[in-house]
Structure 1
Amino acid sequence: MDSRDPKPVDIDAKSIISMQELDPSPVHEDLGDPSVELGAGEYFPRPEEKRSRTCGFPRPVLGLRPHRWDALLSGLQKYSTYPPTVFSFLHFVNTSLIPLATRSVPASESYLLLTRPIYQAPGLEHIFLTIPIITHIVSGIALRNIRGSRRARLYGAETRAQRSLLSSWPRVSLQARAGYILAPLLCLHVLVNRATPLLIEGGSSGVGLGYVAHGIARSPVFWNIFYLMFVTSSVWHFVGGWATWMGWRVTTARTDRRHTSKGSLEGLLGSSESVDRTRRQRKMWWTVNGIAVAGAAFWLAGALGIVGRAGLAAGWEAQGWNNMYSHVPVIGAWL
């Protein structure tokens, strides 16, 4: 070969070198509103901007992004259940287990002192019960509205009917329904046993199991139906809620096998993992609902089986209780 001929060029090596020397070119195409988060409908996640520092400290970010609102409201909804759960357990012991053990309302009255310092001490009742319960309800409604509106924006809902269809309100789980049923029942319970005695006698120191038994004897149909719904919804909501916090997302609703898609990938593969997951879900469903049924049955056995059958009071005590029941707002004429 002639030495004057050009040397063969290694095309692959040259192309690799040229590719290494090219700078990456960012895509400037606008894929949507950059202020919208990924969960709110953005196609690609927006890279987090570096916070400018002032005197060595990061500049505070004003306002909350959607995922921060979710974290804040979810935290409020979760941790606001701790104080009411403690009180509900003590109240369950006082109004159910102890009457079942003593088989007598007068013998069980003294044990109410275990929880009276909680809801009769000045200011402690609102810190331990009122504020957490209101926080739990308000944060749950706000969280549902935020997620519903985000889902509507994600799928491009334009009309009110489309937004209503894509929102989370039409698909409320049994867990949430139990909570919404419980809220007005709890308000009525507080109205009869706390607010009315406070207005009539200046306090509820004379209100106990005998007061409840006297009211049930006055209007047995109303109060039996009320406490049946009140106890059942409260126990189901508490047990299902704590199961959700612990990772057992049961929501007291079992999926019907008839609605299972026959063309799903799990059905075609028949993997053992999907079978094990189905078994775990079924076990969780039976465990959570079994605890709820047992708790509601024990509570109703003590509340209606013992306290509800104690009968009317007598003497001046009965007169005072009759006066309080008749002065309950709105429904006092029927009690």
Structure 2
Amino acid sequence: MAASKESMPSKPEDIETRSIFSMQELDPSPVQDEFPDLESGEYFPREPSPPSAREPIAGGGRFSSLKLGLRGHSWDSWLSAFQRYSTYPPTLFLALHWANTSLIPLATRSVPDSESFLLLTRPVYQSPGLEHLVLTAPVLIHIASGIALRNIRSARRARLYGAETRSQRHSLTFWPRMSLQARLGYSLVPLLGAHVLVNRITPLMVDGGSSGVGLGYVAHGFARAPALWNLYYLLFVAVGVWHFVGGWAAWMGWRVTTVRKERDRKKGSLEGYLGASESEQRLRRQRKMWWTVNGIAAVGASIWLAGALGIIGRTGQGYGWEAKGWNEIYSQVPVIGSWL
């Protein structure tokens, strides 16, 4: 009889009471409806590691948790590391190039006197193995890793929204919104390609090498097409310097060209009452970083343009057999040779 009473269902009001008190009340949390910036380093939220990865295997001793400095990473973390560390060798090359094409011409006020200093770094500039190792390969790795990161983010967004087929992904905009840093980088690619075409590829096709390419060669090109080259180098230097300075600022934590604009304060939030001073300090700090980074970029670009356009660009054409060879090279530049 007792067993039959225990098996009988409870009263409806008891079930309702238990269900109400068994529910746990949780504080509301904001929903992240916008993905982190790709170029800011906040690629994807960290996923909690499984217990097996956190706890060492029993019986393995000290060597079970020792992995000789190797850790398991996702594709986006590896690609972000490639994108970051591939900027180190080109930065060294850029510093040498800045000195040879701007600082030294500004100091000597003469292109022929500056050519001798250019010869000191010619093994880095034109050595086939070292130049590709310091400049070509890192630049290609930097561009490829950036595009791959954006494709990974696009694919994850497509899976999040349930787009399975190619037509569904094409109908929706899943390509991440580019920041100023990304726009500068992608704009730099054709400008850098034109520079390589005129100063490396075409001399290799015509003369079999670029041993005759120097500051006099660039000055000769300015004299042949001053309007074109002045506009080109103005864009090339400005975009390149801002991209490099903004990228290094981002690596050091000063996110100026990659930071998103903060949203307006939500209604009902206490930030306007309790966090006003903290918010003002943060905005003041961000404003200071913005002026510092952009000021450094502006000064660097101005000095570079002063040496490139002010000294090299006003030297004039060459003469003799050397000028004849330069004319032959400029006239055979693919696509744009008729304008040079």
For Structure 1 versus Structure 2, the TM-score category normalised by the shorter chain is 0.7 to 0.9
Q: Does 1:207 align with 2:242?
A: no
CA contact (8 A) 2:245 2:293 kept: yes
TM-aligned CA deviation for residue 49 of structure 1: 3.9
SS of the residue corresponding to residue 134 of structure 1 reads helix
CA contact (8 A) 2:250 2:258 kept: no
Q: Does 1:134 align with 2:137?
A: no
Number of the residue aligned with 1:302: 307
Q: Does 1:47 align with 2:56?
A: no
TM-aligned CA deviation for residue 46 of structure 1: 6.5
Number of the residue aligned with 1:28: none
1:64-79 aligned at under 5 Å gives the runs: 68-79=74-85
Number of the residue aligned with 1:108: 114
Query: How far apart are the structure 2 equivalents of 1:267 and 1:216?
Result: 57
Q: Deviations over 1:85-140 (max 9, x none)?
A: 00101100110011111111111111112321112223111111111010000001
TM-aligned CA deviation for residue 224 of structure 1: 0.9
Q: Deviations over 1:239-262 (max 9, x none)?
A: 000000001111177859xx7446
Number of the residue aligned with 1:154: 160
Number of the residue aligned with 1:167: 175
Query: How far apart are the structure 2 equivalents of 1:275 and 1:162?
Result: 41
Q: Give the aligned residue type for 1:80.
A: S
CA contact (8 A) 1:41 1:153 kept: no
Query: How far apart are the structure 1 equivalents of 2:281 and 2:77?
Result: 31
TM-aligned CA deviation for residue 280 of structure 1: 0.8
Query: How far apart are the structure 1 equivalents of 2:214 and 2:278?
Result: 53
Structure 1 pair 52/202, CA: closer, same or farther in 2 (3 Å)?
farther
TM-score between the two structures when normalised by the length of structure 2:
0.76
Q: Give the aligned residue type for 1:223.
A: W
Structure 1 pair 161/41, CA: closer, same or farther in 2 (3 Å)?
farther
TM-aligned CA deviation for residue 268 of structure 1: 4.4
Number of the residue aligned with 1:179: 185
Query: How far apart are the structure 1 equivalents of 2:216 and 2:136?
Result: 25
Q: Does 1:317 align with 2:325?
A: no
Q: Deviations over 1:5-45 (max 9, x none)?
A: xxxxxxxxxxxxxxxxxxxxxxxxxxxxxxxxxx9899x85
Query: How far apart are the structure 1 equivalents of 2:178 and 2:45?
Result: 22
CA contact (8 A) 1:40 1:150 kept: no
Query: How far apart are the structure 2 equivalents of 1:192 and 1:48?
Result: 57
Query: Quick one: percent identity of the two aligned structures?
Result: 66
Q: Give the aligned residue type for 2:254.
A: W
Query: How far apart are the structure 1 equivalents of 2:291 and 2:246?
Result: 12
Query: How far apart are the structure 2 equivalents of 1:332 and 1:103?
Result: 30
Q: Which structure ranks higher in relative contact order (CA pairs < 8 Å, sequence separation ≥ 6)?
A: 2
Query: How far apart are the structure 1 equivalents of 2:195 and 2:209?
Result: 15
Number of the residue aligned with 1:334: 339
Q: Give the aligned residue type for 1:96.
A: S
Query: How far apart are the structure 2 equivalents of 1:150 and 1:162?
Result: 16
Q: How many residues align?
A: 287
CA contact (8 A) 2:86 2:139 kept: yes
Number of the residue aligned with 2:284: 279
Q: Give the aligned residue type for 2:299.
A: A
Query: How far apart are the structure 2 equivalents of 1:246 and 1:201?
Result: 43
Structure 1 pair 227/72, CA: closer, same or farther in 2 (3 Å)?
same
Q: Give the aligned residue type for 2:324.
A: Q
Q: Deviations over 1:215-237 (max 9, x none)?
A: 01101111111101110110000
Number of the residue aligned with 1:95: 101
Number of the residue aligned with 1:219: 225
Structure 1 pair 265/143, CA: closer, same or farther in 2 (3 Å)?
farther
RMSD over equivalenced CA pairs, Å: 2.9
CA contact (8 A) 2:265 2:271 kept: no
CA contact (8 A) 1:41 1:154 kept: no
Q: Does 1:193 align with 2:202?
A: no
Q: Which structure 1 segments of 5+ residues have no match?
A: 1-38
Q: Which structure 2 segments of 5+ residues have no match?
A: 1-42
Query: How far apart are the structure 1 equivalents of 2:152 and 2:120?
Result: 40
CA contact (8 A) 1:100 1:301 kept: yes
TM-aligned CA deviation for residue 300 of structure 1: 0.6
Q: Does 1:80 align with 2:80?
A: no
